Amino acid sequence: MSSPNAESTAFRSALEVIRAVEPRVADAIGAELADQRESLKLIASENYASPATLLAMGNWFSDKYAEGTVGRRFYAGCQNVDTVEALAAEHAKELFGAAHAYVQPHSGIDANLVAFWAVLADRVEAPALKKAQARHVNDLTEEDWFTLRRELGNQRMLGMSLDAGGHLTHGFRPNISGKMFDQRSYGTDPVTGLVDYDKVAEAAREFKPMILVAGYSAYPRKVNFRIMREIADSVGATFMVDMAHFAGLVAGKVFTGDFDPVPHAHIVTTTTHKSLRGPRGGMVLCGPELADQVDRGCPMVLGGPLPHVMAAKAVALAEARRPDFADYAQRIVDNAQALAEGLLRRGAKLVTDGTDNHLVLIDVSGYGLTGRQAEQALLDSGIVTNRNSVPQDPNGAWYTSGIRIGTPALTTRGLGVAEMDATAELIHTVLNQTVSGSNADGTPSKAKYVLEPALADKVSHQAAELLSAFPLYPSVTLS
């Protein structure tokens, strides 16, 4: 275990070195720590990485190119990169019970692109190559390539719609996934807000996708991955799960059995931050049948991997294998449910009337607000959230009708269920006292709002007081 003095010395020294070159960057780094210490961070996709994880990213691995995989690099001198990449993959496999782990993706979208192209290559490219009777990809004729491009571009994907809680990388049209695939979405029940597995099965039978995607960024409930796999198998689809948001709940064994995606999916993607509490990055887990295709992520989709981030992934995944991480994961859910209950008692309207996971989705139309108005009013009051669509959202994806809140970050700070009730009171107070504004011509505005500055200041001070008992990075002092 490192000592508090060692951690403070490390960060102080780093800022001193940075300040000598560009003091404004050093100031911004220090200001970011101060801002995070003083605000209630309720963005469901954010967390606080440990000092060890943060420090693992600032080192000489940043200087090294390492295209390829462990033991098969296109650059010399990668033996130390091999060590940290192998360690990260080993920890990931043990943590999630996966046969294979690919830890090079730079982000969640990179991990999804690797997965999409691995499935396409396995399902389409290999048969096309065989059909062309080519021993090597270089032997394909221009006609062969035309046929291959057409086949790759006409495949189908079925994923959760954005307004139901899915992610933009699951086929949202402006995203590359929506351009790669002929895509259709499944939604949720208009009354309960829950996934209707019979409707998903019906859509799969009608659409016959190559890839069925499960996973979410704003769905407050568990997903039964056993049933989803059965649906995929019934139409011959590859079943992919994006567990970026709830990977920490899988790692911490809060989600098990039918709700653990790894035993059920053909391929699983995730980020390594969010509830997993690691550095910003991505990862792909799969069985041996897709391992070779996944390992072609570089150069298929990725460029040079980021060895310094892989080192930090190894550290964070090692931390997640400790017994106390399971306790942390359970407290995330306990806190989210306490927060939901506190909001419901105060009259807030929640999508699905609660939560099974780390996030809560507030339909702020009950307060007469758009998501954009609510997001900014809360930010003025020291509460950091993000606006989010709700099912069948009349305000679209920009203004939205919802606010998504999550508990991973505050749980890392040590806040518990009592503090979640106090947080619910602060949120409700702000939203209840915020009034939708008007444009200059008197028409209703979806962005402007009115909130008394005195109330915003009062809530900000209350939030700071609530947080004062749970200091962020207490081992780190910068002055």
Pick from 429, 365, 437: nearest CA to 403: 365
- Our answer to whether residue 85 is catalytic in this structure is no
Q: What is the pLDDT of residues 213-248, one digit of tens each?
A: 999 999 999 999 999 999 999 999 999 999 999 999
For residue range 276-296, what is the model confidence (pLDDT) as tens digits?
Answer: 999 999 999 999 999 999 999
Catalytic residue among 12, 38, 64, 65: 65
Can 271 be counted among the known catalytic residues?
Answer: yes
Residue 226 lies in a domain: yes
Percent pLDDT > 90 in the chain is 82
Whether 22 maps to a domain, the answer reads: no
Is 197 considered catalytic here? no
Final residue belonging to a domain, choices 277, 292, 320: 320
Asked if residue 447 lies in contact with residue 372, where contact means CB atoms within 8 angstroms, the answer is yes
Q: Is residue 478 part of a domain?
A: no
CB 383 within 8 A of CB 42: yes
Assess whether 208 carries a catalytic annotation. Answer: no
DSSP string, 387-438: EE--TT-TTHHHH-SEEEEE-HHHHHHT--HHHHHHHHHHHHHHHHH-EEEE
Say what the pLDDT of residue 129 is.
Answer: 55
Domain span at residue 101 reads 61-320
The answer for residues whose C-beta is within 8 angstroms of residue 59's C-beta and 6 or more apart is: 308, 311
Distances (CA, A) of 439 to 368, 374, 398, 442: 16, 17, 17, 5
Question: Would residue 52 count as lying in a domain?
Answer: no
Please tell me whether residues 208 and 155 are part of one structural domain.
yes
What confidence category does residue 126 fall into, taking pLDDT thresholds of 50, 70 and 90?
Answer: low
Answer yes or no: do 236 and 222 share one domain: yes
Q: Which range among 55-64, 122-131, 138-147 has the greatest average pLDDT?
A: 55-64
Residue 42: inside a domain: no
* pLDDT of residue 150 exceeding 80: no
Q: Is 449 a catalytic residue?
A: no
Which residue is listed with tokens 């690099």?
73
Instruction: Evaluate whether residue 2 is within a structural domain.
Output: no
Q: Which of 19, 46, 64, 67 is catalytic?
A: 67
Q: Are residues 303 and 412 in the same domain?
A: no
Task: Provide the strand spans (E) within 13-131.
Answer: 40-41, 68-69, 72-73, 100-102
Residue 432 in any domain: the answer is yes
Are 85 and 165 members of one domain?
Answer: yes
Q: Are residues 287 and 203 in the same domain?
A: yes
Residues 336, 401, single domain; the answer is yes
Residues 142 and 181 in one domain: yes
Q: Is the domain of 248 the same as that of 362?
A: no
> Are 305 and 407 members of one domain?
no
219 an active-site residue?
no
Give the pLDDT score at 134.
Answer: 44
Q: Of 294, 320, 346, which one is at a domain's C-terminal end?
A: 320
Same-domain pairing of 123 and 168:
yes
Spot the catalytic one: 221, 274, 331, 413. Answer: 274
User: CATH code at 392?
Assistant: 3.90.1150.10
**Predicted confidence (pLDDT) per residue in 75-93, tens digit:** 999 999 999 999 999 999 9
Q: What domain count does the chain have? A: 2
Q: Which of 242, 260, 319, 419 is catalytic?
A: 242
Q: Are residues 312 and 331 in the same domain?
A: no
273, 289, 320 - which closes a domain: 320
Give 269's pLDDT tier (boundaries 50, 70, 90).
Answer: very high
Domain containing residue 115: CATH number:
3.40.640.10
334 belongs to a structural domain: yes
- What is the reported pLDDT for 133? 46
Q: 261 and 342: one domain?
A: no
Strand pairing class (402-406; 359-363): antiparallel
> Would you state the pLDDT for residue 148?
63
Length of the chain: 479
CA distances from 36 to 248, 277, 414 (A): 21, 15, 15
Say which of 53, 271, 272, 370 is annotated catalytic.
271
Q: In a 3-state reduction of DSSP, which class is residue 208? A: coil
pLDDT at residue 28 is higher than 70: yes
For the stretch 370-425, pLDDT in tens is 999 999 999 999 999 999 999 999 999 899 999 999 999 999 999 999 999 999 99
